[in-house]
Amino acid sequence: MEVAAASGIMAAVNFLKTTKLTVPTTLSTPCPWLSQKPNKLALCAPSSVPRTNFLSVLTRCSTKPDTDTNNNETDQNPTLQHNSNSKTSSYHPSQPNSNEAISSSLSESPPPSISRGLVFDLGLTNSWDSAEIGSPVVKRFLSDDEERWYMWYYGNSSENPGSDLVGLAISSNGIHWERGNGPVRSSADVGLVMNCSQDWWAFDTSSIRLGEVVIMSSAKVRASNAVYWLYYTGYSSEKVNLSDDDSSEFDLKNPERFHIYNLSGENGSTGKILKSLPGLAISQDGRYWARIEGEHHSGALFDVGSDKDWDSLFISSPQVVFHGNGDLRMFYHSFDVENGEFGIGIARSRDGIKWVKLGKVMGGGIRGSFDELGVKNPCVVRNKKDGKYVMVYEGVGVDGKTSIGLAMSTDGLKDWRRFQDEAVLETESKDGSWDNKGIGSPCLVQMDGDGGDEWRLYYRGIGNGGRTGIGLAVSEGSDITSLRRWTGFHL
């Protein structure tokens, strides 16, 4: 079954009223992206809803964006096609109508020298993302006369600081964002779009964080059949314990916590290492998501390695790149206990659901480097101009300080070379700056069309008191090794 046939399933996902559904077995045509057929699809709508018969809602529904475009990363007539920075032939912006959209601008703007690069701050008091935000995944879509941007990110509130959820914000320029205070209530809404699983046996009951959103379509169909694939990290309540001789000089955490939640000085970041695994959810509008159960008994796509493997503790930040028809690569990070460092590994898949690990591709840098203690939170992009692969990642120094590094590869597999063993973006030096304590979780966007040849780098920043925000740096022309924090539009 091509994606056109799969759109029937996705139409049901879009407005489905159930918490669980079973994939029908009577579909007549084979579906390459569901060749390893999952047993169930678990709806990830941000609120619980009554059950409805699955077959009764298999009706056509429209979605966005129009991703009917050529892509030089695929074969000439692929069944599945990846679309990034997609050209759209028609686009009518949807206005949020149920969950009142608000601007991401600060009510009291700090001085420019303090907020340099900041484009997305914490949500308003009592909103779902008022305490912490991060892991931006940004996509740009072009039409003949306008553009639009989607940003998925994780957030949590002071009422439930230990549980990360996923939200969506939209923009017309990638700078000024519209967000929602609560759950989305329609396919034109913004706000909270995905909760933790309610199934006690699932791998993602405690927290969820973004990895990547891959957009698939068929070259023979139009936008209404595009499908969003969201790869994410799911955290359970299962704790991972390190023995005394495995202890490090820094406080290893999974997930990391930054915000100080009470006046006594207790920091939500101290000491917890939760087991995390990679998951997959699909959507036709980027707002209503259905989980795909993987091969692992918890519903995850795959498990951690054995005791002696480098990724035996946890799997985090799955980031997927579509190389070609039947060839998807997943980059992820873990903590290599034997070598005492964070590392990045790779797995490969034909259908995006069943994965085979290929091993570790990057570890800690040279002595004294910004990433001596390891690398994590990778973002890999295939350069549209020369076909080479670019990886931006979060480097960890021996003092725990985080910066953003750059590596390149010709084949996107194991031949990764760092850029001069230096960070391409470091923390802001000014004490009062919003990102003076650490930066990471990079997301790289290659501009084209009216955007010129520049690159945009979105990232999570950490400031005083563990306050987080999302920032932006831009390249000087097409030189990705020269990044500067965004300071405003230059006419």
Residue 103 in this model has a pLDDT that exceeds 80: no
| Average pLDDT of the chain, as a whole number | 78
User: Would 43 be classed as within a structural domain?
Assistant: yes
Give, as one character, the DSSP assignment of residue 189.
Answer: -
Residue 243: the pLDDT is 63
Residue 350 in domain: yes
SS3 336: strand
Tens-digit pLDDT profile for residues 398-423: 999 999 999 999 999 888 999 888 99
Residue 112, both tokens: 């420019």
3-state helix, strand, coil in the chain (%, to 5): 5, 40, 55
Residue 271: pLDDT band by 50, 70, 90 thresholds? Answer: low
CA atoms within 13 Å, Cβ hemisphere of 228:
28
Q: Distance between CA atoms of 455 and 390, rounded to whole angstroms? A: 11
Reported as a pLDDT band with limits 50, 70 and 90, residue 449 is low
Look at residue 131 and tell me if it is in a domain. Answer: yes
Residue 163 lies in a domain: yes
Exposure class string for 115-142: b at 16+ Cβ within 10 A, else e: bbbbbbbbbeeebbbbbbbbbbbbbbbb
Mean pLDDT of the 445-465 span: 86
Closest CA to 444 of 408, 390, 384, 402: 390
In a domain, 490, yes or no: no
What pLDDT is stored for residue 468 in this prediction?
96
Mean pLDDT of 435-445: 96
User: From CA 234, how far away is CA 205, in angstroms rounded?
Assistant: 7
d(CA 64, CA 286): 8
Asked if the structure places residue 491 within a domain, the reply is no
Cβ–Cβ under 8 Å, residues 148 and 155: no
Task: Give me the pLDDT at residue 6, please.
Answer: 41
pLDDT at 410: 92
For 390, the domain range is: 3-485
Residue 217 pLDDT > 90, yes or no? no
Q: What tens digit of pLDDT does each residue of 289-329 get?
A: 999 999 999 999 999 999 999 999 999 999 999 888 889 99
Indicate the helix (H) or strand (E) that contains 341. strand 341-349
- Of 424, 417, 420, nearest to 457 by C-alpha is 424
Judge whether 475 lies within some domain.
yes
- Nearest partner of 85 among 385, 487, 470, 348, judged by Cα: 385
CATH code of the domain containing 212 = 2.115.10.20
Give the Å distances, CA to CA, from 228 to 111, 289, 321.
Answer: 38, 9, 13
The whole model's pTM is what? 0.81
- The answer to whether residue 329 is domain-embedded is yes
For 33, the 3-state DSSP assignment is helix
Q: How far apart are CA 283 and CA 9, in angstroms?
A: 10
Give the pLDDT band (50/70/90) at residue 219: very low
Q: What is the pLDDT of residues 348-396, one digit of tens each?
A: 999 999 999 999 999 999 999 999 999 999 999 999 888 899 999 999 9
Structure tokens at 161: 């600081």
Number of domains in the chain: 1
